[in-house]
Every structure is written in structure tokens, then in C-alpha cells.
Structure 1
Amino acid sequence: MLIIAIGSRGDVQPAAVLAGAATRAGTPSSVLAVEEYGPLVRSHGAGFIGIEGRIDDSLGLAKNRLTRPLAHLLVTQGWMLQRWMKRLAPAIADATLRALEDHDSVLTSSLTVSLGPAIEATGRRVGTLLFSGQLPTAHRESHYFGHFYSPWDWLNRPGIDLSWETIERLSRPVTAILGPSLAGQAGHRLSPRNALDLPAIIAASPILVPPAPDWPASARQSGTIVDDETAPLPDDLEEFLADGDAVYVGFGSMGHGLEARDLDLIREAAMRSGTRIVTPALGGWAPGRIDELTFATGPVPHSSLLPRMSGIVHHGGAGTTFAALRSGVPSVAAPFGVDQPYHAARIHSLGVGPASVRMSRLTARRLAGLLDDLTSGVYDDRAAEIGRQCRAEDGVGSTLDALEELGFLQGGTG
């Protein structure tokens, strides 16, 4: 089985976990992703097919101080992703064509959905693997753009259809290159079938993404694919935590470009609220204690770190959101864009944390307010309850079951 996982770490890590689990279950599986994620994928026991490219390149305007405000606009984010995918299209098409020689079943992802019908025409089994509420639905709580919905269904439908059309459009430059070669394999001209006709697996917890009754009949919701890796925390971080409670503040690989000024914002928020903070050592920061209230940590598994925190502030990515919910600790998101505002709203709806603040509006004063809210005790009981529910789920096992039901794992073929 081949999983085409073009995107950020949040797209690649669950694909790697799933591919490794499928391999151990008897179906040798590989992940196709940008080269920088090779060590991550291989660490889970999956095969890896790399393409040249950097996820940082997709951020474009978000990394530039002058153009950063524009990057918070939804239309700009779509343009940045489209430009990045167009630049990578030849490499993705070439790697996919080579990988198909060794794989008879394929899962595309949100940035490659339009490849599905073209690959299926060659006789391979094809499906779509999604990690959030991206399938069209009239139910706002189940769709990642639900915050744009109006009270009138007839008015929402064009926007719902457009959101899926936009997703498909992102990978059409790849399909335009790959299609003629696949048409030759299929022995006929490829028909313009919609990716919605193919099986879809929504690998997202129903706690985070409530199931929608009008999802396509071919859709299966499994659960969030969790990396259960644990590791001891570094000694100096353990010493920092021994001195008192701390809140985790981190904004992920697709955040807003962490730099020195962002660390200044975090440090000022810590001083304003008197809250101790653990934050990732990104943007050239050296791991270790920065001051009495702030610690910058190197890479550590969420499953080891987050349950030790008294609160969590994150960017709202699907995987991080579920990891925070699963920890049983109050949390809140400062979303940048795409599906992150949806997850941020769901966190608040679940009652495990305060209302979110958009990344573009996050100041030291507002962050300090979030820190105070998280550590007030108001959300502790509800967060603990949701954490127990999340930990009872087996997203990996449920996703493997769905794949077996759909025929992707039958006979252990890859």
C-alpha cells in the first residue's frame, strides 16, 4: 500500500504511523512525502519515497515580516499552497509513477485527492485519507469551514461545493503531468471522475469531528491516528518542571514562522501572568532554560510532555489538537488558517478551554489572558473527562479495520 502524504509533519506523521502498522499487520506499506520526513517515516517501520522540496517553502509570505499579515487571509493561504504544489508537481508525478510499479493499492491525501480517479483507472484500489472534516456536508460542526456557514442551507451549498473543488484543484497540476502516463497503463483516455466517488477514510476522532449523516456512503470514520511513542524528558526539563507547574506554548510546523520576536512575546506573556512556560526550541533557539519562567525544549513526544502540563496553547493542527485533548489537560488554540480555526472552535465547544485568539491577533497581553484562563481550574474537570474518552479510542486499529473492510489489506498485499 502506498500513502501519498504531501504536506506538513501533521500530514506525514499519521501516514507514517498507519503505514508502519499496516506493514506489521502483513501489508508492506510506504509513504511518499517530501525528503525531510524520511527519518520520521522510516522510524515507524514504513518504506519511504522522497521528493525534493521543503515544507517551509509552502509558507511563503508567512515567513516574511512585511507580508506576514497577508498570509493570515484564507485566499492567500490557498494561493501559497497552490503555488507550492505547482512547483512540486513534476517531482510528485515522477515519484508517484515509479512508486505505482510496486504498489497495487493507494491512499491519497488532502493535497493529492485529484490523483485518485486517474490512479484507479489503472486497476489499482484507491481511496482518500483525511485527517479533519473536509468532506462536503451541510452540518457545520462536521466541516472545517463550518464557521463560514449561514443559517440557510441553500446559501451554504455553493460554498461547501467550492471548498471541495478547491481541495481537488490543488493537485491538478500533478494530475495533468501524471494523467497521460496513467492513461497509457489504463489503455484508454481517463474519465474525469470525481474523487468523492472513491472510498474516503476520515481518520479523525468523532469527539473532535462529529460524524455527518450526509457524508458520502463510501466514507468511513475511524479515529485519530496517534503516535504512542513515549520517551523520558530531558533532565534539565525535568528539573524545570520540578520547580512548579508549567503551560506548553507551541505553534507547530505550519505556524507563523517562529523567530526571536515570537520568543519575546512568549516571555512577556509569562511575566505578565506569572505562568511558567515550556515552548519548542524553534527558529534557532537553543534548548534549555531561557529564564526563570521559560524553558525551550528540543523534540519530545507529545504523549510524554503534554500530560505533564497544566495547560496547552497550540496552533490547532488536527494531530496536536487531539494530542492535547487526549492529555486530559485544558487547552486552547491560536490558529493560523486552513483547518486550524475549526479545531480551535471545537476545543471551546467541548468545554476544555477558552475561546481561541487568531494567530494574527495574538499579543503578549492576549496570550497572558489565555494562560490565566487555562490555569484557573475552570476547565480541569471537563478536560480530564474528554481526555479519558479520547484515550479509550484506538484510531490506528479502527483505521486498519476500515482499510481491511474496503479491501486495502486483504491478503497482506502491498
Structure 2
Amino acid sequence: MKLMLLTAGSRGDVEPFAALARHAASAGHEVFLGVPENSGVDLPPVARVPLDVDFSQLMAEQGVSAIAAARAFRSAIRPAMGRMLGAAVRAIRDVRPDVVVYHPKLLTAAAAAASVGAVPIVVETVPSLTPSREFPMPGTVSRDLGPLNRMTYRVAGAAAGMFRREVAEALRPLGGPAASAPVASLVPVSPVLLERPRDWPPTTTITGAWVAPPRETALADEVADFMQDGAYLYAGFGSMASGDAVARARAVIDAARANGLRVLMAAGWGGLELPPGERGGDVLDVTSVPHAQVLPAAAVAIHHGGAGTAHAVVRAGVPSVVVPFTGDQPFWGRQLQNRGLAPAAVPARRVTPERLERAINVALSQRDAARSAAESMRHENGVARALDVIEATLAR
């Protein structure tokens, strides 16, 4: 099978596709992988296709507020999307794969796949495309609307409509826009965090998280030494860079100390910035660290609630304190809370040392539940399940 995988977004959007690419290649398939530039992800040795977009730069320009996003939309986001959508069409036409598995941001992938006779399969890294009565579309409303939940999923179509002009231009080599839709949907989410809604169609499959086998790398001496010196809290907000990063870091440090914990702080793309004079002693700040190696030894993890980080923390058997900024992050915060793996989320705009101190205290009481959830998650093999579905869909 000639398989093309195309994704877009931050690290949490790239890592699952990289894991699936690695597994599919090891199973003997010819794999082509398209990811954004500067993703920061360890990519497998498979054929690469260019997508001509750098999401780290886009996030820096866009920020996480509606005002910042509006300012950046015309100058940065729209042109970048146009380049990416056109690059996806060219890659699919050049490679002519049997199957195209793609992220929802790749709005031209299904039509381009159909133009070369390939099977299009979409990936819901967040369960936001298949409507359900059981929960509203993540990233829309913050409460259950009951029978009206399904209506919230119309937002996805409206968002796609914002790039109608870019889609039309990218599809011009195919003769213009064409009616097309994926034939199946894969949801790379653990059943530990999301039970399959009863009203989903059989073409939508929860596979379990897509995770590559952990690769042990030598930790920096300062990180390894810090981990040996006593109980610590991990704090990291990934690509979220908004508001006062120094004040947020100060709140994390004060709250951790109030609970007798040291702090291992990952600055990421700027969500945390160490206050002056705090480095050393009970605080260590780094740009990033491998989750699989540092999380299992942590007492608790404070994070933004991105899908990838939420899974990594649960897989490590560690309770969470979720500080959501935007998008689907409140959804994952609620999922963790509902399963007894985190207290109620503390929104980024409401972070104070006192709120975080109380949340950490609750999270520390949830360690047994976290260990039990980790044990269940370790029995999953999401990439194997996903590849089985892809192969079966192609065979039909």
C-alpha cells in the first residue's frame, strides 16, 4: 500500500501522524509523510512531502486571543493556509497514493485524493467532525446542551468556509472545487479519556492514542540530577504563549511550594517564563523535556490540556491540573475531571497561586486513579488499530 499522511498544526498534531507513519513503514507499507516545518518532532525515516507552512511562527503571530487572531488572519494565516492547501494538492497528484490520511486542516486533501483514485480518510485528533448528542463540539460551548449538542458541529463547516477562496485556488489544477468527502474517520484518542458515543456511525473509529514506542535518550545532566532530588511538579503549556508568562510561572512556583513540591518547568513556545532570581534550588527551567522520561516520576503535572499532553500525562500515571487557554483544551480538562484524573480546570485568565495551590492539593489525592488509568491505557495499540482500519477500508 502506498500511504500518504498529511497533518498540520502544533506538536500535538504532528506526533500522532509521525507515530502512525513509523508503524506503517515497519509493517512494510510505502509511506509519505507531510508535516509543517519546524515541528520539533522526531520524525521517522520515511519519504517526506513539503507542506510549506511553519505553525510555530503562525502561533507566535496569532497568539490565543480573538483580537490577536483577527489581526493575524489576513496578514499571516490566510496566506499560509493557501500555500499549505496548494502544497497538499501537488503532493497527492505527484505521489498518487492508494490512501490519503489527513488532518482536518488539510481542506483540499479529500478532493485531491479523489482526483487520483485514492481513498480519503480524515483524522479527528479532536472529536469535532462526527456530530454527537452526547457532548458539544470541543472548542464551542462550555456546557452540555443535550439534544442541541449536534448543532454545535456546524461550526466546523463554517470555519472551513473562511478559506473558501484558498481552497478554490488550490484545487484549480483539478478543474476547480469538486464534491468530495472522507470515506472514514479515525479518532486517535484513548477510550480511557473518551468512550465511543452511541450515535456515531460505524465509519468513525476510536483507535486509541497514536504513540510511537518510547526512545530512551540521555537526559541533560541538570534534568537527571533534578529528578533525583525529591518530589517535583512538572509544568508546561506547550505552544500557548499568551498573557503574562512571568506571573503565571510565579503562580505555579508558589503553589507548588505550598504543597511541598519542587518545579520542573518547560517554557515551550513561551507559555511560562521564569521570574528573575528563581533558577536553581527547587526550580529548574528548560525549553522542553521528553514527556515519557520525566512525567512518570512527577507527583503532578500542570499543563494546558492539549490532546497530546493530556494523553501523555495519563499514560505516565500522573494526575493533572489543567490550565486551558483556547480551543479544545477545556474539553480535555472536563474529560480528565470526569474520570477523577484532575480537579476542575483553572482557566489561564484566572490563574492565581491560591487557585493552583488548591487544585494541586486535590490532584495529589487522585494518584491512585491516575495509576489505574495508566495501566488501562498501556494495553492499547492505537497505531496498529488505525492501520487495520486503513487496510480494511482500502480493501472494500
- Please indicate, yes or no, whether the TM-score normalized by the shorter chain is above 0.5: yes
Partner of 1:40: 41
1:392 pairs, out of 359, 371, 379, with 379
8 Å CA contact 1:303–1:323 kept in 2: the answer is: yes
**1:383 aligned onto 2:370:** yes
Question: How many residues end up aligned between the 2 structures?
Answer: 387
2:314 pairs, out of 316, 325, 334, with 325
Q: 1:336 to 1:80 in 2, by over 3 A?
A: farther
Q: 1:122 to 1:84 in 2, by over 3 A?
A: farther
Partner of 2:250: 264
Q: 1:285 to 1:316 in 2, by over 3 A?
A: closer
Partner of 1:247: 233
**1:2 aligned onto 2:4:** yes
The amino acid of 2:132's aligned partner reads A
Q: Percent identity?
A: 25
8 Å CA contact 1:111–1:167 kept in 2: the answer is: no
The amino acid of 1:379's aligned partner reads Q
Partner of 1:213: 198
The amino acid of 2:186's aligned partner reads I
Partner of 1:235: 221
8 Å CA contact 1:4–1:107 kept in 2: the answer is: yes
**CA displacement at 1:32 relative to structure 2:** 1.8
Q: Secondary structure at the match of 1:3?
A: strand
> With CA pairs under 8 Å and 6+ residues apart, which has the higher RCO, 1 or 2?
1
8 Å CA contact 2:119–2:183 kept in 1: the answer is: no
Aligned counterparts, 1:3-402, within 5 A: 3-37=5-39, 40=41, 43-59=43-59, 63=63, 71-72=64-65, 84-100=76-92, 101-104=94-97, 105-113=99-107, 115-141=109-135, 143-145=137-139, 148=142, 150-153=144-147, 155-160=148-153, 162-169=154-161, 172-183=164-175, 190-193=177-180, 195=181, 198-227=183-212, 228-256=214-242, 259-282=245-268, 283=270, 290-375=279-364, 378-402=365-389
8 Å CA contact 2:139–2:329 kept in 1: the answer is: no
**CA displacement at 1:281 relative to structure 2:** 4.1
**CA displacement at 1:257 relative to structure 2:** 7.0
Q: 1:335 to 1:255 in 2, by over 3 A?
A: farther
Task: String of CA shifts for 1:336-379, please: whole Å, max 9, x gaps.
Answer: 1111110000000010121111112112332222223223xx21
The amino acid of 2:89's aligned partner reads L
Task: String of CA shifts for 1:139-175, please: whole Å, max 9, x gaps.
Answer: 334842585455441x334323x22313533554442
Q: Secondary structure at the match of 1:177?
A: helix
Q: 1:88 to 1:211 in 2, by over 3 A?
A: same
8 Å CA contact 2:168–2:177 kept in 1: the answer is: no
TM-score (norm 1): 0.83
Q: 1:82 to 1:5 in 2, by over 3 A?
A: farther
Q: Which has the higher helix share?
A: 1
TM-score (norm 2): 0.86
Partner of 2:392: 405
**Structure 1: unaligned runs, 5 residues or longer:** 64-70, 184-188
For 1:290 and 1:274, locate their aligned partners in 2 and report how far apart those are by CA, in whole Å: 17
**CA displacement at 1:81 relative to structure 2:** 6.9
8 Å CA contact 1:57–1:84 kept in 2: the answer is: no
For 1:11 and 1:145, locate their aligned partners in 2 and report how far apart those are by CA, in whole Å: 16
For 2:202 and 2:156, locate their aligned partners in 1 and report how far apart those are by CA, in whole Å: 17
Q: 1:302 to 1:60 in 2, by over 3 A?
A: closer
Q: 1:296 to 1:353 in 2, by over 3 A?
A: same
